Each structure stands twice: as C-alpha cells, then as structure tokens.
Amino acid sequence: MNTLFLSKSDMAKLLQMDEVMRVVEQAFRDYAVGQAQMPPKAYIHTSNGDFRAMPGAVPGAVGIKWVNVHPGNPKLGLPTVMGVVIYSDPDTGYPLAIMDATEITAYRTAATSANASKYLARSDSHTLGLIGAGRQAYMHLQSHALVFPLETIRLYDVRPEAVEAFINHFPQFNVKKASAEEAAASDIVCTLTPATSPVVKASWVRPGTHINAVGADAPGKQELDPKILEMAQVVVDDLVQACHGGEINVALRQGLFKKEQVWGTLGEIIAGAKPGRQDAQAITIFDSTGLAIEDVAVAHLVYRKAKERGGYPSLEIV
C-alpha cells in the first residue's frame, strides 16, 4: 500500500465549505452519541508559540493532527497556524495519507462556528461582526454567508491594512470598517484574535446576540469580558478542552464563572439532547477550542475525494 501526500494547494482545491460544514456537523452528532472518540489535546509550549497533538476518530476514520500557533509568523512570511494530519486506516493502522492541515484547520473552524450559529443565533440574524481580520475572518464570512442572508459585515482589527485588504477581497459583501464596540453590536459576533485579555466589553453586547468565541484556544487566552459569560447561555465544543484552554478558562480560574454554568455541548444540541436558542432576547456564546474529530472528519472527506480524482503523489513508507 502507498501513502497519499496532499499539499496545501491540493487541499485548497479539494475543500468546499458547504461539504465541510456537513461532515463537521455529523462529527459533533457522532461525538454526542458516543460514536466518535477524542482524547484531550496535548500542548507543548515554546518561546514563540505552541504545538498541539490532536488524535481523534469518527465512524470509518481515524487520524491525528500536529498543529502549531505562532503569532509572529506573518512577519516571516508564514501562516500563524500550520499543521499536518496523518490519516490512517482504522482496520489496519496503515497511514493512508499525510496531508496539509493548515487548510483543514481554516475550513473546519469556520464551518463549526457557522453550525453553532445555525443552532444558537436568531434565525433572522442579518449582521455579522468580525473582531480580527486574519484568515479566520475570511473563512467565517464564507461559512456564515451559507446560512444567513447577511446584509452588513462589521469588521474590526488593530491593523488598518488588514481591514482594507479584507474589504477589497469581498466586493460582493457590504463590509464596513468598524470599532470593536460597533462590531460587537451585531446579531452574530465572531471573536478571532490571539488576545489574552478581553477585547469585548459586556456593555457592548445587545440582547439577542450570538457570539462565537474562537480565539481563546489555549490556557490564558481570553477575548470576552467575564461578565458576558454570566449573562449568557454558554455552549462549548468540548467541556474538558474549554475548561483547560477555551474562552471560559480564565474566568474559571478567577472564580468568575463555574463549570456548572455551561449549558451543554454543541454536539448535544445538534443531536437533539438539549435545545439551542430558546429566547429571542438571550445572549448565546459558543466557546470554540477546535476538536480533533472535526479534523478527522474533514480528512476523511478529502481522502475520498482525492482517491476519486487520482493523480496525487504517493509513496510506500511503511
């Protein structure tokens, strides 16, 4: 048997947001009913960033993602987040593919947020606030546009050039440069920064808002005023990971929020075990830490598509 090798450019051609949203939603459903497996992330910290090892399995697929987060990378011409997935045959253990995970991470993160918004945001939501204008802002606009009729996108970033580049990239959307406060006044707000202190104040958030808190994905990271957690119906992707390194991690350690206040997991809501939004005036939060089951589900999708198309390099490495 040969191992398939898929580069970043290969992945960009094989990935489609609507397909990713579908398989990620199913992965959460499988996880909630005990048909998927995922040990907690393992972290390694270095002076300039950190690495995460993320193993997981969904029905018919198993793999592991090795991914980094190095905030200083753009100055070196490198992405902040990079990674690879080793995708294996669950029956034999043979490594079926080694594929770039930078694109997988970009797609599945935004796909998960849009799925969360589908269940937790108001159905009449039409304004999207993006706080942070990096790669995830681009992906979150694409994913949410598949679910909601977006009339206005309010974009904030500390880098004016990043805001300008984003606006120029999406002439088909009504993207407006905004302050963080203005962006936070949207129907759906996505926080997409590497912040270690709040960038969104409680007084800025209106009743009926849904927030996807994405940037806090490691211990010490935090984007929201802890008072917002107290005000909101909080849903997590995985309770263990969220307590360790999600948006709630700092508030938990400071005694400003309790684990028992978490409403449930996204998987429980998707599977119908718990309701999502119940009140049009409620503030809802999805605490996204990024799950290995998302990566494996997307790797499974990509591998099948690559095998169907053919023409990709392979090597017998075992």
Active site (catalytic) residues: 65
Sheet of strand 262-265: strand arrangement = 175-177, 152-156, 127-131, 188-191, 210-213, 284-287, 233-236, 262-265
CA-based nearest residue to 315, from 45, 116, 162, 94 = 94
Classify each residue of 169-198 as buried b or exposed e, where b means 16 or more C-beta atoms within 10 Å of its C-beta.
Answer: ebeebebebbebeebbbbbbbbbbbbbeeb
- CB within 8 Å of 251: residues ≥ 6 apart: 222, 226, 229, 257
DSSP E strand boundaries for the chain: 3-6, 42-45, 50-58, 61-69, 81-88, 95-100, 127-131, 152-156, 175-177, 188-191, 196-200, 210-213, 222-224, 233-236, 262-265, 284-287, 314-315
Q: Is 103 left (phi over 0), alpha (psi -120 to 50) or beta?
A: alpha
How does DSSP assign 210-243, residue by residue?
EEEE-S--STT-EEE-HHHHHHSEEEES-HHHHH
Residue bearing tokens 């990024």:
290
Q: How far apart are CA 202 and CA 49, in angstroms?
A: 29
- CB within 8 Å of 220: residues ≥ 6 apart: 196, 249, 250
Q: How far apart are CA 318 and CA 19, in angstroms?
A: 31
